Amino acid sequence: MSQQYTVAIAGATGAVGIEMIRTLEQRKFPVKKLRLLASERSIGKKLKFHGADVVVEELTENSFKGIELALFSAGAERSRTFAPAAVSAGAVVVDNSSAFRMDDTVPLVVPEVNPQEVAKHRGIIANPNCSTIIALVPLWPLHKAAKITRLVAATYQAVSGTGAKAIDELEGQVRAWAAGQPMTKGVYPHQIAFNVLPQVGPADASGYTQEEKKLLHETRKIFGDGHIRVSATCVRVPVFRSHSEALFIETEKKLTAAEAKAILAKAPGVILKDDVNANQYPMPIEASGHGEVIVGRLREDSSCDKGLALWVAGDQLLKGAALNAVQIAEILYGIKR
């Protein structure tokens, strides 16, 4: 029997935590024992893993004795509090929050891009932001072929990126509209049903939001290139699950659309779906539940000589979070796929 590992999931009852449980199960990760950790209000809740009930325990600084791998999806504040305790107890932490992403001592990893960084960890490995992951999986092979010097991105982000309450709010507003009743709001400052909100997260004095700046700083760190120019506009859309992104890149070496398609057709973690005449292109409804990033609408950018435009869709709960974290763990322990 291959080696098995004692695994903990911190934030196990949240949307990403649930996907982490499913991903460990579906990919047959060698789990010897699974411990599920969450806030006090979730104590005693039972979640299934390989058909058996696992009881949720409270997340505390003393939760990690005997844990070898800790997957964190509990939010930045809790990661800052509890991840060091997990490392002190002997665990390696793969953290899905923003807490450690820009720490120079913490690897920030997309397995299809920079798997070699996993070996440099000092106890914590960071998962990038979901929009960054979905963009960089298809952009990396193009970057290797022609060196991207500039990226302009517009993201179209599903409400599940905000959490379960946002999903409920969108569904409630649609039901209210269908019944001819007033729509109420609480999670978002404006109605999200039949609307788009061109702000994801708080903005600073520059006018850019934190979500938009993540794409800039994380891209530079993951690609190992501090000179890539990045500008993003992040938009919340009335879609339940999976993000879409319009990406415009400028490269040092010219790539034709045909060359780019040939590269992406063979790229790991990518599905090329690009036939406009047959109405075939990436859509969030098709990306949902899948681990690959779907790429299409690929064409040469008419506004610059060495540019490409493409449209991508990816499941932000899977490849944008849970799956990426489990793939990092597989690299960490040398599990081949």
pLDDT grade for 327, boundaries at 50, 70 and 90: very high
Write out pLDDT tens, residues 247-267. Answer: 999 999 999 999 999 999 999
User: Does the structure show a pLDDT above 80 at 2?
Assistant: no
pLDDT digits (tens, 9 = 90+) for 112-133: 999 999 999 999 999 999 999 9
**Burial degree of 255 (CB within 10 A; 0-12, 13-18, 19+):** buried
Query: Average pLDDT for residues 51-70, to the nearest whole number?
Result: 97
Our answer to whether residue 243 is catalytic in this structure is yes
The pTM (predicted TM-score) of the whole model is 0.96
Confidence of residue 336 (pLDDT cuts 50, 70, 90): confident
**Cα Dmax for the chain:** 60
Domains with residue ranges and CATH for the chain: 5-128+321-332 (3.40.50.720), 132-320 (3.30.360.10)
**Residue 236: closest CA among 205, 259, 212, 254:** 212
| Catalytic entry in 121, 130, 143, 234 | 130
Q: Among this protein's residues, is 190 annotated catalytic?
A: no
What is the residue-wise DSSP string for 166-216? HHHHHHHHHHHHHTT-----SSSSS--TT--BS--S-B-TTS-BHHHHHHH
Counting other chains too, the contacts that 49-57 makes at CB distance below 8 Å and 24 or more residues apart are: 49/21, 49/24, 49/25, 50/25, 56/12, 56/13
Question: Residue 337's pLDDT is what?
Answer: 80
**121, 143, 234, 243: which is the annotated catalytic residue?**
243
